[in-house]
């Protein structure tokens, strides 16, 4: 029987990091399947076959994995990339909204991993690469729940890697910094906005927009993903891009006080918790009791 080429499954492959990763693997001779919630609307990637997947729906996950295995004969490398971003103070999001974000960013990843792992064990090995973020090892003011979901991916991946090594299955996290994608266009807003935070929230958005002007191209992240997936001695963490690499070293070896101050300055926050530095609300009173607008769709945005 002729041996097949290695099969890669990439979630969120319709654009951004996922698209770059799928294209990079295809160019290296891998058989690549990409996923999208609406594959018929996804721009074609030469040599990449799309399957429908919503990581928040268990039946969709099982169907997508079964489809890839039926068409390709197996899965060797899983790239968990799907995710959403929520910008706002932590207090401004209900628990319901936070759970919805985690359902995509973390539990969606867990669902897909659990579906693929039995096949990897049965075939004697494989790789799982989870797309994390520099916000998974640094504080993320005004993106607290996004950062928390990425911290969760870090802890989950490190523990899972220890559990699966005896089956020749290795798990790694790729940690991009700011990456030039269209994610800003579909960024979620808090479902319970509070006027007290409005100025800082707007500042945080401006910081994000400014950072995207000099952000890394998705191809830089894709190169690191391939390195993690094909290394003979894989590491658990792979910072992707110059900024993420520098921040990772600073987190590990830099003075805590200097890092704390740098984070506050970068996010346009006052250096100390002084009442005199509290921004004036845009409205006279907090928006407590005001009917909250419906949250934006939690559809997986381009990454």
Name the catalytic one among 146, 151, 178, 197. 146
**Model confidence pLDDT, tens digit, residues 102-149:** 999 999 999 999 999 999 999 999 999 999 999 999 988 999 999 999
Classify residue 282: in a domain, yes or no.
no
Classify residue 291: in a domain, yes or no.
no
More confident residue, 247 or 73: 73
pLDDT tier, 201 (very low <50, low <70, confident <90, very high otherwise): very high
**Model confidence pLDDT, tens digit, residues 206-264:** 999 888 888 999 999 999 999 999 999 999 999 998 888 888 888 888 888 888 888 89
Range of the domain at 14: 7-277
Classify residue 166: in a domain, yes or no.
yes
Query: What's the Rg (C-alpha) of the chain?
Result: 20
Whether 156 sits among the annotated catalytic residues: the reply is no
Classify residue 299: in a domain, yes or no.
no
DSSP string, 180-220: -SSGGGG-B--SS--GGGHHHHHHHHHHHHHHHHTPBPHHH
pLDDT tier, 64 (very low <50, low <70, confident <90, very high otherwise): very high
Number of domains present in the structure of the chain:
1
Classify residue 283: in a domain, yes or no.
no
Classify residue 53: in a domain, yes or no.
yes
**CA angle 172-24-33, nearest 5°?**
80
pLDDT-wise least confident of 51-55, 68-72, 81-85, 125-129: 81-85
Classify residue 301: in a domain, yes or no.
no
CA dist 32 → 18, 39, 79, 223, 243 (Å) = 11, 14, 11, 15, 29
Nearest alpha-carbon partner for 123 in 167, 155, 154, 158: 167
Give residue 290's pLDDT.
Answer: 43
Classify residue 67: in a domain, yes or no.
yes
What average pLDDT does the chain have? 88
CATH code of the domain in which 49 resides: 3.40.50.720
């Amino acid at each position: 029987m002729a041996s097949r080429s290695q099969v890669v499954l990439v979630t969120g492959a319709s654009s951004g990091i996922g698209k770059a990763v799928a294209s990079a693997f295809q160019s290296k001779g891998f058989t690549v399947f990409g996923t999208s919630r609406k594959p018929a609307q996804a721009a074609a990637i030469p040599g990449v076959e799309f399957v429908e997947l919503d990581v928040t729906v268990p039946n969709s996950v099982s169907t997508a994995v079964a489809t890839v295995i039926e068409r390709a004969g197996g899965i060797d490398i899983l790239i968990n990339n799907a995710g959403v971003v929520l910008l706002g103070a932590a207090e401004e999001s209900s628990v319901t909204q936070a759970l919805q974000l985690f359902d995509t960013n973390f539990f969606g990843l867990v669902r897909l991993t659990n579906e693929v792992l039995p096949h990897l064990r049965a075939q004697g090995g494989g790789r799982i690469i989870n797309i994390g973020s520099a916000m998974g090892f640094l504080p993320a003011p005004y993106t607290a729940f996004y950062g928390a979901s990425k911290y969760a991916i870090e802890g989950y991946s490190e523990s899972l890697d220890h559990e699966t090594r005896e089956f020749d299955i290795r798990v790694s996290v790729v940690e991009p910094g700011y990456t030039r994608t269209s994610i800003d266009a579909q960024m979620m807003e808090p479902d319970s906005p509070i006027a007290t935070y409005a100025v800082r929230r707007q500042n945080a958005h401006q910081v994000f927009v400014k950072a995207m002007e000099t952000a890394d191209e998705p191809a830089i992240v894709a190169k690191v993903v391939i390195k993690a997936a094909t290394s003979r001695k894989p590491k658990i963490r792979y910072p992707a891009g110059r900024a993420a690499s520098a921040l990772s070293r600073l987190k590990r070896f830099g003075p805590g006080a200097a890092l704390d101050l740098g984070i506050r300055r970068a996010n346009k926050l006052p250096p100390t918790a002084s009442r005199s530095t509290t921004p004036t609300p845009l409205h006279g009173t907090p928006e407590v009791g005001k009917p909250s607008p419906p949250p934006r769709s939690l559809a997986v945005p381009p990454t």
